[in-house]
Amino acid sequence: MPPMGNSASAGKKKRQQQQAKGKSPRGKTTQSPSEQKPTHQHPSSQPTSSQPTNAKMADRQAELEAEKNRQEGLSIIQGTMNEACGDDLHIFIILGASGDLAKKKIYPTLWWLYKDGLLPKKTLFVGFARSVLSIGDIKSRTTPYLKLKDGEADKLEKFFAANRYVKGSYTDDSAFENLNEVLTGLEGSCKANRLFYLALPPSVFKDVTKHIKTHCMSPTGWSRVIVEKPFGRDLESSNELSNHLKALFSEEQLYRIDHYLGKEMVQNIMILRFGNRLFGPVWNRDSIASVIITFKEPIGTGGRGGYFDEFGIIRDVMQNHLFQILTLVAMEKPTSSSADDMRDEKVKVSKCIPPLKLEDMVLGQYVGNPDGEGEAKEGYLEDPTVPRGSVTPTFAAAVFRINNERWDGVPFILKCGKALNERKAEVRIQFKDVPGDIFSGDCKRNELVIRVQPNEAVYCKMMTKSPGMSFVPKETELDLTYGARYKDVKMPDAYERLILDVFCGLQIHFVRSDELREAWRIFTPVLNEIEKAKPKPIEYVFGSRGPPEADKLLEKNNFKFTGTYKWTNPNL
């Protein structure tokens, strides 16, 4: 692939300078508390008739300030994008344009980036699928997911005017020859770059990528291929796919997308760890008792159990999303913030993890709740799309050990499930008990919690003196809740961040082939054992916390749950 030119290097350098000054290349400049200007009212002052008017004026001023900051943030990204991409034409090709992923995620993401002016100046979009579709059909199918606002109708028309659609088979050479003719016609004599997004089932990955390489690579600019998970279903199939892609494209041309790596708080882990002096000395086995990484969904399979049953919760969530977070939490400090240096460290720590064993796991499957409503009344096996008698887990908890000097003896517990009591994804780092306790056992363990979703937050559970006359330790927190601290900041969708990164050629938040290989090395033996032995999952009720056996597994692995503290969302 032709390397990024000097403009791309300049773009990266400018982005680093902006970040050093407190500016995000994807967002606005945030104000420190000292820069904010709260209004103060004297305690003795009485309400007057003018106060409601003043409050409205203050609210309006805050809105204007927020919009100003937002526009400043957008201008930073626009400048970065212009430097990185210049005046080249870019064509974004959505393969699988008729599918759910394209309808619910890809087209909406492209629209959000387009309306904010965050794409290169010259960008066109081409959908490709087997279905007979018009641009009007695509517009009507995607509109419910675009989050349109008043006054955006004209811009939406311009967005779809920049779209084309090509019908063709994924296995037919002539269909991709036709696609290339359409792309060439759009490019004319311009230098053009092509981005291919594979929003496709894995069964056609090989055919499609072979045809892209044979017929559709850009003759004048670069070509990049975005691959959606699953990246195989075990070590053998993953290696087979990786070897296939390696024969066609360089690693710099491949962007294996795991959307969790685009989430705000997952990207924040690296800054928290390596940008703060206070965490370095305690981020090890001497201070940390256990680490729990959790994913919970309050919904069942909702009629999509047939698809889910092919993969199960381990392949669907644990082997990719949660394991990626584990490597970010556990890796050593990279020599720089470059993509390869960071991914090198993720691979190194993965190599220290032995294969997962069934004895270190709890598997569950949800059953209906007689007292529930709607979907909650039905268990997994009552989904008509699920094979009769399926033993596919909808819940899994697993303990991992990292055999290196930093983490020897510290359990890393990954826990994920559907049909649970809440929607939540978080990292919970529990520290060891304070040595030499002088408070009669009243002190609870400190915890650092990184809340990924919903209500992004970082908070630290700690002990303080109970307010008032008593001298009793009380649990409280140091709390950075993004909704309270950064009220004016719009958090971009994970796909927005990642697609922007592909345009700019930044691979830091994408998965490299050797990362995949190590992850599948760890998971494949136990997946094979589960498929061969078919252990019956433990039943848990829809809307519960999951199997009680999972709590026992956590307790056995040095996690203490007291139940005496609950985080309070300051947004409420």
Residue positions annotated with a catalytic role: 321
CB 174, CB 213: distance < 8 Å = no
Query: In 3D, which of 148, 147, 116 has the Cα closest to residue 499?
Result: 116
Distance (Å, whole) CA 285 – CA 528: 32
Closest to 91 measured CA to CA, from 209, 164, 194: 194
Please list, in sequence order, all residues whose beta carbon lies within 8 angstroms of the beta carbon of residue 95, skipping any fewer than 6 positions away: 128, 129, 170, 196, 197, 198, 199, 200, 208
Report residue 478: phi and psi, to 5°. -95, 120
> Please, is 37 exposed, middle or buried when counting C-beta atoms within 10 Å of its C-beta (0-12, 13-18, 19+)?
exposed
The 8-class DSSP code of residue 247 comes to H
* CA nearest to 309, candidates 407, 390, 240: 390
Strand duo 457-465 + 447-453: pairing: antiparallel
Fill in the DSSP letter of residue 505. T
Rg of the chain on CA atoms, in Å: 26
Cα distance between the two ends of the chain = 50
**Residues in Cβ contact with 536 at an 8 Å cutoff, skipping those fewer than 6 apart:** 391
